[in-house]
Amino acid sequence: MNKHKTLVIIGAGGHGRVVADCAESIAIYHEIIFLDDCFSTRKNNSHWPIVGPIAHWTKYTDNADFIVAIGSNTLRESLLKKLFATNSSIATLIHPTAFISTKSIIARGVVIFANAVVNVGARIEEGCIINTAATIDHDCHIQAYCHISPGVNIAGGVEVGTRSWLGIGSSVVEYITIAENTQSGAGAVITHSTQSNTLYLGVPAQPSRSLT
């Protein structure tokens, strides 16, 4: 639940700027600041200040909400778990132009960007990124720390395993299971359930290489 008027964004890259812009569009935060280990050489991420390295997050646990704006699913998971362990206030950010069914479930630490759709019965677990114009159809389950890239379309009843990353413009047919740590290349069309720790490419998507 978003409960403070200051938002601390961990990660000051391009993805972080989009997160900040999303947060600003919600108009509930009086202050939006970044923490990033580039602090020694950069003091701003576009319109927003970088106020310290990532390790300084402990200074804000009593008076700020947090969101982790790091594209790496593994690193985002690691940082969010540290925040969860200290009972920090973890934000959930949903852009005003996104459509989110009232009969869906969105966990803490999730960011849902402009023009995305999350339909009835869908569950989005903690730490996921639902990027610009991605669509999650009815009764899908997106497990924790996934990244659903811009323009991805996931048909109904799909299970997406933990830490999976579906590349820009990917499509997934209905009622299949995406195993944990699956990655798909740009424009891939996934028509069958996948193996874990594997990159899939093409139309229809085929396993390309192991990610371990």
Q: pLDDT tens, 29-63?
A: 999 999 999 999 999 999 999 999 999 999 999 99
CA angle 210, 127, 69 (to 5 degrees): 90
pLDDT at 44: 95
What's the DSSP call for residue 13? Answer: S
Which CATH topology does 94-202 take? UDP N-Acetylglucosamine Acyltransferase; domain 1 (2.160.10)
For residue 206, which amino acid is it? Q
Distance CA 72, CA 74 (A): 5
pLDDT at 33: 98
90-100 tens-digit pLDDT: 999 999 999 99
Catalytic residue ranges: 138
Question: What stretch(es) of the chain map to CATH 3.40.50.20?
Answer: 6-91
Q: Which residues contact 179 (CB under 8 A, 6 or more apart)?
A: 161, 164, 193, 194, 195, 196, 197, 198
Angstrom CA distances, 95 to 19, 111, 122, stand at 9, 8, 17
64-98 tens-digit pLDDT: 999 999 999 999 999 999 999 999 999 999 999 99
128-160 tens-digit pLDDT: 999 999 999 999 999 999 999 999 999 999 999
Angstrom CA distances, 72 to 35, 99, 137, 179, 183, stand at 16, 25, 24, 17, 12
Which of the four CATH numbers 3.40.50.20, 3.30.420.40, 3.40.50.1820, 3.60.140.10 does domain 6-91 have?
3.40.50.20
Question: What stretch(es) of the chain map to CATH 2.160.10.10?
Answer: 94-202
